[in-house]
Amino acid sequence: MAYFPIFVDLKDKKVLVIGGGNVAYRKIVKLLEFEAKITLVAPKICLKIKDLANNNSNLNLKNKEFEINDIKEAFMVISATNDNFLNKQVAEICGSLNIPVNSVDDIENCSFLFPALIKKDSLVVGFSTNGKAPNISAFIKNIIEGDLPENIGGFVEILGLLREELKNKILAQEDRARIINNLIEYSQIKDFKVSYNELEEKMLSLIKEIGK
């Protein structure tokens, strides 16, 4: 069975992380990039996580054992422990409340998988082997991340703004798609090192060609 990839808005959503070690730290670092409101519960919390909390108001630490009430109001739960019994307990509670749960390295107690991620501004790419070989996901992620143009994230932001502008100028979706593809090809030649003004000027010239 393969898991269907889906992208979820985590901004200001309440995410519960159970566990306070290095695994939890790695998950938190990624979640904070997406502006989630994270509560971490663990009887022992590593220094790296404490330092992270000192510098980020979106991370709240609770130095204690997990309790059922901790799950209340959570949008999503990450169980980053090596306690299979606890993972199962958390998964069962989340299942009864229809809350998505990921138990790290314990696919039997997951309702979703935490992929290997590349994030460049609004560009987000996820990699998964459906829990069978996470190291392969990380391996492929590193290859692709190394091959991405340095400014690809900034280019996505610029293209997104121009796409909205284009919607107001060109009604036909096919024409808009042709212009956007032309802008991408134009930018690729320049290794995506283009400014908003430069790309807007190119877009306007393409619009004129369509109007002829």
pLDDT digits (tens, 9 = 90+) for 126-148: 999 998 999 999 999 999 999 99
Q: How many residues does the chain have?
A: 212
Region of 117 on the Ramachandran plot (φ > 0 left; ψ -120 to 50 alpha; else beta)? beta
User: Tokens 């997406």, residue?
Assistant: 34
List, in sequence order, the alpha helices (H) in 98-194.
134-147, 152-169, 173-189
Convert the pLDDT of each residue in 80-114 to its tens digit: 998 999 999 999 999 999 999 999 888 999 999 99
- Alpha-carbon distance of 34 to 8, in angstroms, equals 10
Angle (deg, nearest 10), helices 47-54 and 22-33: 30
Domain range annotation of the chain? 1-114, 152-211
Q: Could you give the CA distance from residue 110 to residue 88 in angstroms, rounded to a whole number?
A: 9
**Prediction pTM value:** 0.88
CATH for 1-114 is: 3.40.50.720
